[in-house]
Amino acid sequence: MGKKLDNARNFFRTLKKSEAAPVYFIWGEETMMLDEAVAAIIKHAAPEGTNDFNFDSFHGREANMDSVVSACEMLPMMAKRRVVLMRDSQEVPLSELDRLSSYLDNPSPSTCLIVHAQTAKKKFDGRKAVVKKLKKAGVSCEFASLYENEVAEILDSRAGRRGLRLLPVVSAYLVAAVGTDLATLDQALDKIDLYIGPNESGTKELRVVDEAIVREVVADTKVRSVFELTDAVGERKFEDALHIVANMLRNGESAIGSVAMLARHFRIVARLQDPSVRNLTRNQKASAVRVSPFFLKDYERHARTFGLRDIENIRSQLLRVDRALKSSSLDDKTLLEQLIYDICFREAAA
């Protein structure tokens, strides 16, 4: 199990077992889990429900920190505590957010302040004093974009609640098609559920979702762009890869997501070089690395191009670029172009 999902599970598990904290700071790229965390904290802090007297909500740039602090310092009326929610704090200038600092030194014990930051499109500078103080003032948790193996497990669980059973290749296809964002994947499951319709037998038997169904229902635009990129990089076609990346960024696709898909690609390529996989049949190989047999030949071709030492170096570069995308002042396009250059040229010469 990956650390990211474990962090989220530990947050929800601990929340149920502990008293409501005076401050919660939750942030990250995984929007659906952030929303679920906000709802869970509010329910935990105000189990009797919220009302106009004991609940205040502020949003992003519209939030005035003096008003937020005033709301936090008010006493609850006919309730154990007040709940103050500040959504999208990543949109608040840090100079303005810093006005929370003195309140965080001594937060009201009768108020639960929830500070939410959605960082998929706008990063939050964790080096700033007020951000460090937010993390220390109460309970904090990062809901980062999940790893693919974590998403597959959640997909299977959410599909099961709808009476669906996803074949392994379907989970892999969905992640390739729409990424690892749970909200988008949940919408895809809704579409599949509606497309298949109720179980005609009237039993509770799970309805099987195969590759033909998911291809019919879920648009594969992103699949094409991702596979075009991984194929160009896998063939060390530098100019083609640069062109594809430029188009992906222009179309609003995440640079972090692109790096994640490249990392997935090279994990599969490395897995195909494992002796326990190398001698399997085509369908067995596809099942072992959780890809469609239709795409297997491309991964096998790249497995012949890149040795294990090459792949280890590439994966180190991917990790470095992933961190830089989340913290560096360099723009996403520059970081991705340098990454592609390193894979296409430096690794070839290694």
Mean pLDDT in order along the chain per 10 residues (350 residues):
69 90 93 93 92 90 90 90 94 86 92 92 74 88 83 88 89 79 88 84 81 79 67 89 85 82 88 87 82 77 87 90 87 91 69
Tell me how far CA of residue 171 lies from CA of 32, 177, 185, 211, 264, in angstroms. 18, 10, 10, 9, 14
With 0.75 as the threshold, say if the pTM is over it.
no
In the chain, domain spans: 3-142, 146-219, 220-350
Give Cα 232 distance to the centre of its chain: 25
pLDDT attached to residue 292: 67
How far is 328 from 49, CA to CA, in rounded Å?
Answer: 42
pLDDT attached to residue 350: 43
CB 140 within 8 A of CB 134: yes
Using DSSP's 3-state secondary structure scheme, residue 58 falls into strand
Using DSSP's 3-state secondary structure scheme, residue 210 falls into coil
pLDDT attached to residue 348: 46
DSSP 188-209: HHHHHHHHH-S-TT-S-PPEEE
Yes or no: domain 220-350 corresponds to CATH 3.10.180.10: no
| pLDDT tens digits for range 90-145 | 988 888 888 898 999 999 999 999 999 988 777 776 677 888 888 888 899 999 88
Q: Which amino acid is at 140?
A: S
Element housing 28 (H / E): strand 23-28
CB 211 within 8 A of CB 169: yes
pLDDT attached to residue 225: 66
220-350: same fold as 3-142? no
pLDDT attached to residue 334: 92
| pLDDT tens digits for range 272-296 | 988 888 888 888 887 788 776 767 8
| Fold observed for domain 3-142 | Rossmann fold (3.40.50)
| Fold observed for domain 146-219 | Helicase, Ruva Protein; domain 3 (1.10.8)
